[in-house]
Amino acid sequence: MSDEGPEESEVIQEAIVETPLIRMIKEGRISTLEDVFDMGLKIREPEAVDLLLRKIREEVISVSPVQKQSDAGEKTRFRALVVVGDEDGHVGIGSAKARQVRDAIEKAARRARLNMIPVPRGCGSWECQCGEPHSIPAKTSGKTGSVTVMLYPGPKGLGLVVGDAIKPLLKLAGIRDVWSKTKGSTSTNHSFIAATYNALKKLFVTSFLETEVSKTVS
**Where in the chain are the domains?**
20-118, 140-217
Tell me which of 3.30.460.10, 3.30.160.20, 3.90.1260.10, 3.40.190.10 is the CATH number of domain 20-118. 3.30.160.20
Q: How many CA atoms lie within 13 A of 111 on its CB side?
A: 23
pLDDT of 14 reads 46
Alpha-carbon gap, residue 41 to 115, rounded angstroms? 13
pLDDT of 2 higher than 80? no
* CA nearest neighbour of 118 among 142, 84, 89, 78: 89
Tell me which of 3.30.70.1290, 2.60.40.10, 1.10.10.10, 3.30.230.10 is the CATH number of domain 140-217. 3.30.230.10
Asked whether this chain's domains 20-118 and 140-217 adopt the same fold, the reply is: no
pLDDT of 19 reads 87
Alpha-carbon gap, residue 201 to 190, rounded angstroms? 16
Alpha-carbon gap, residue 198 to 210, rounded angstroms? 18
Residue 1 — very low, low, confident or very high, per pLDDT cuts 50/70/90? low
- Indicate the SS3 state at residue 18: coil
Q: Are strands 178-183 and 140-144 parallel, antiparallel or unpaired?
A: unpaired
Average per-residue pLDDT in the chain?
Answer: 87
Alpha-carbon gap, residue 101 to 80, rounded angstroms? 8
pLDDT of 119 higher than 90? yes
Mean pLDDT of 10-21: 60
Mean pLDDT of 162-185: 95
Q: DSSP string of 113-137?
A: HHT-EE---B---TTT----SSB-S
Alpha-carbon gap, residue 85 to 169, rounded angstroms? 8
Find out whether 90 and 53 touch, Cβ atoms under 8 Å: yes
Query: Comparing 31 with 1, which gets the higher pLDDT?
Result: 31
pLDDT of 13 reads 44
pLDDT of 9 higher than 50? no
pLDDT of 210 reads 60
Mean pLDDT of 92-106: 96
pLDDT of 4 higher than 70? no
* CA nearest neighbour of 117 among 146, 100, 140: 140
Mean pLDDT of 184-191: 85
Over its C-alpha atoms, the chain yields an Rg (Å, rounded) of 18
